[in-house]
Amino acid sequence: MSDKKLPLTNCNTWIRLAYMLLFGILLMAARLVISLVVVVQFLLVLIIGSDNENLRNLGQGLGKWVYQTVLFLTFNSEDKPFPFDEWPTVETASGYSVNSDDDEVEEVEDAEYVEAEEVADDDVPSFTADESDSETDQPQK
């Protein structure tokens, strides 16, 4: 008989199952926290007019943690996420403000537009044959 062990008796696989159960529970808790962050951020934007930077950073960190956790749970990564590794780094992002939409509208209004008469006919390609070209393309009798 061979000395190979059955995959069923591999101790590392059973230990990984325990980690997977733990991270599955933590993932459900993270879903609740993300839902709370979404609701609170939305209410802050409605009431104050801008979002909270700390909540935005928490949401970004949780999103990256969820991604790392899903990679671990689906066997795409052997690295265990936080708390067995560092918390994901958060990149600074510009926040949302109710007034930021007005700035974008002003930029569009200030843009220079070129009138159709200013564009030369040579700049616009033509995909139809001119009458002079069609006369030369006809067979001679």
Domain with 87, as residue range(s), is 7-116
What is the distance of C-alpha 53 from the center of its chain?
A: 19
d(CA 53, CA 32): 20
pTM of the complete model: 0.63
Sign of CA dihedral 70, 76, 77, 80: positive
Is residue 49 one of the residues assigned to a domain?
A: yes
90 touches 60 (CB < 8 A): yes
Position 129 in a domain: no
pLDDT the model gives residue 1: 47
- Asked if the structure places residue 87 within a domain, the reply is yes
Q: Is residue 132 part of a domain?
A: no
For residue 11, being part of any structural domain is answered with yes
Both tokens assigned to 86: 């560092």
Q: What is the CA angle 72-74-78, rounded to 5?
A: 35
pLDDT in tens, the chain (141 residues): 456 777 788 888 899 999 999 999 999 999 999 999 999 999 999 999 888 999 999 999 999 999 999 999 999 999 999 888 888 888 887 888 777 554 444 444 555 655 656 655 566 666 776 655 555 555 555
